[in-house]
Amino acid sequence: KNEVEQSPQNLTAQEGEFITINCSYSVGISALHWLQQHPGGGIVSLFMLSSGKKKHGRLIATINIQEKHSSLHITASHPRDSAVYICAVNYGGATNKLIFGTGTLLAVQP
C-alpha cells in the first residue's frame, strides 16, 4: 500500500464544473503539498498545508489531520486547469523529505 494515495487517477470534466481531487496518507506528517504539473512541463507548488484550509483564486485546499486526508477543489474549472495534480507530504518530524502520490490527471473539456 502506498503511503500517499490519490483519487481519482484520471478525471475528465466539462468547463465550469466543480472538481475535487483527494489525497490520503498513512504516515505522520508535518505538512502536505499540492503541486501542479502541465504536460511536458515543470512542477509548481500550489499549496502547503499543515491544518485547515487555504484558498488561492479558484483553488481551495483542505486538510483533516485526524483523518489523514486532504482535498483539492477547483471551482469553475477551465481548460487551462488541465494538468497533473500531485499530493506530497513532509514526514518524519524536522526533515524536508517528501513522499509523493502518483498524481491525478485532469482534463477539462471546453
Partner 1 sequence: NAGVTQTPKFQVLKTGQSMTLQCAQDMNHEYMSWYRQDPGMGLRLIHYSVGAGITDQGEVPNGYNVSRSTTEDFPLRLLSAAPSQTSVYFCASSYSSGGRHSSSYEQYFGPGTRLTVT
Strand partners, 109: 14
Query: Are residues 61 and 69 in contact, defined by beta-carbon separation less than 8 angstroms?
Result: no
21 is an interface residue for partner 1 by CB under 8 A: no
83 is an interface residue for partner 1 by CB under 8 A: no
Among 12, 64, 102, 109, binds partner 1 (CB under 8 A): 102
Between 36 and 77, name the residue whose CB sits nearer to partner 1. Answer: 36
Look at phi and psi of residue 27 and say left if phi exceeds 0, alpha if psi is from -120 to 50, else beta.
beta
For residue 2, give the nearest of 72, 68, 84 by alpha carbon. Answer: 68
Q: Residue written as cell 483533516?
A: 64
Strand partners, 60: 55, 73
For residue 83, give the nearest of 60, 61, 107 by alpha carbon. Answer: 107
Compose the 26-55 pattern: x for residues touching partner 1 by CB under 8 A, - for all others. ----xx-x-x-----xxxxx--x-x-----
61 is an interface residue for partner 1 by CB under 8 A: no
Q: How far is the CB of 76 from partner 1 (least distance, A)?
A: 27
Between 75 and 102, name the residue whose CB sits nearer to partner 1. Answer: 102
Residue numbers at the binding site for partner 1 (CB under 8 A): 2, 4, 30-31, 33, 35, 41-45, 48, 50, 86, 88, 90, 93-103
